[in-house]
Structure 1
Amino acid sequence: MTLPDVVMKDAQLLWDYQLMGQSPRPCSVAIGLGSHDLSVADVTAELYRRGMAPLVVFTGATSLTTRERMPRGEAEHYRQRAIELGVPRNAILVEPRARNTGENIRFSRALLEEQGIPVTSVLLVSKPYEERRAYATARKLWPNVEVVSASSPMTLTDYVDSIGDARLVVDMLVGALQRLLIYPAQGFMISQEVPQEVRDGYERLRAQGFTSRLIPDAALGE
């Protein structure tokens, strides 16, 4: 399905904003956040091979979108993918319970603490459109570590092609931005400045019905 250029222009605004633009650098640990997207495991494995982290944590249970594709859990499927790509088994820890970004961070932190592994910096690997959300969540829940965001170096067009559903990608971009706007007040992440042109693009996309990944107003107590 091809979407109108005006829609993709607004989607590009949201996509560009979500990317942190941080260059990967050596950290204490690389944490791959579970999702439907195996490229997160691919990027994490590549960063490990480049010497950016001596240890990898994959975190994630299953969701409605991954239950059938990843029946053993997102983290476990990521682990298997990374091993296939050359990451040693003994360099990978698996956190199999997390079902959202906050739990990804909290449970990974707890696992590393239980293992007695000192952490001063985290290389956080996510889907491209969730770089900023992952960063903001980690800064809130793990404030004493340096956080570096990373993802697959893809354009929005490339990502749409990889997913095969342009409307779903735009829905996900809108949902990700909504969380950046509302979650700081709920204590889930740090607050970040959202440029007005990004807010305007977000509102236009909402008005055009790209809402399937939004948190309903009722769930926000509004």
Structure 2
Amino acid sequence: MNISLISDYIFIEDKDLKGDVGIVFGTWNVWKESIDLAEKLFAKGVVPKFIVSGGKNPESGLIEGDLMASELERLGVPRRNIFVENRSTNTLENVLFSKHIIENELGIGNVKVITAVVKNFHARRVSMTLRKQFPEDIKFRIAAYESLHFPFNRGNWHKTRAGKQHVMGELIKIQKSLKKGDVAEI
């Protein structure tokens, strides 16, 4: 196992995060961190609108998209700048249902750059899913964060059981998604 190659492959993040719209990917237990990052991007004028994407949480029974929208609004992002996707149960659905919102609410031709707000170890699969499901002329930026619940990053994931489990799990999910045709290599 080449740790350096795996790290470079899985952990991607862009420095230029400017986008026409952001997609904030729900996650079963740490969505607050993604909302905090989204609010910072909004406050700095980097991303003007967001789609918060996440359906019913199997652990809590709560609807992630609705919770994230409420929290983002509480942090100061105007409701008119927040679109809610609250049906998805996985990454592919996050992307497909968010694409539907972009097509119907913003107009796909009006969006040139999408900024994805996502956990650091989920960044590659999200990028690959976006690339496969959106037109080629749309660019993507990754705003990745290290979760307090999953406290590992590109430099130390291989030193913890959780880090190894999640990173290697992403590699397996990517391979399965490639075989199904749901993602494209980037």
Cα RMSD, aligned residues only:
2.7
Give how far 1:172 is off. Answer: 1.9
1:168 Cα shift? 3.8
Structure number with greater Rg is 1
> Deviation string for 1:119-154 (max 9, x for gaps)?
1210011111001110010000113311111112x4
SS in 2 for 1:126: strand
Per the alignment, residue 125 of structure 1 pairs with 117
CA distance in 2, matches of 1:116, 1:155: 30
Residue 135 of structure 2 aligns to which amino acid in structure 1?
P
C-alpha separation in 2, matches of 1:53 and 1:157: 26
Q: 1:189 aligns with which of 171, 183, 186?
A: 183
- Aligned-pair distance for 1:90? 1.5
- In structure 2, what is the equivalent of residue 114 of structure 1? 104
Corresponding residue for residue 131 of structure 2: 139
Identity of aligned residues (%): 25
Number of positions where the alignment pairs a residue of Structure 1 with one of Structure 2: 175
TM-score normalised by the chain length of structure 1:
0.69
Show CA shifts across 1:28-87 (max 9, x none). Answer: 1011011022211111111111111211100110243xx31xx43111111122122221
Given that 1:180 and 1:191 are in contact with CA atoms closer than 8 Å, whether structure 2 keeps it comes out as no
3-state DSSP of counterpart to 1:115: helix
In 2, Cα distance between equivalents of 1:40 and 1:119: 22
Mapped partners of 1:58, 1:138: distance in 2? 15
CA contact (8 A) 1:15 1:129 kept: no
| Alignment gaps of 5+ in structure 1 | 1-8, 161-165, 193-222
Q: Which amino acid aligns with 2:79?
A: R
Task: Give the whole-Å Cα distance in 1 for the aligned partners of 2:86 and 2:7.
Answer: 29
Aligned partner of 1:176 in structure 2 is: 170
Aligned to 2:76: 86
Question: Structure 1: which amino acid aligns with 2:67?
Answer: H
Following the alignment from structure 1 to structure 2, what is the Cα–Cα distance between the partners of residues 102 and 123?
A: 16
CA offsets 1:166-218 (integer angstroms, 9 cap, x no match) = 544432222111122332121011125xxxxxxxxxxxxxxxxxxxxxxxxxx
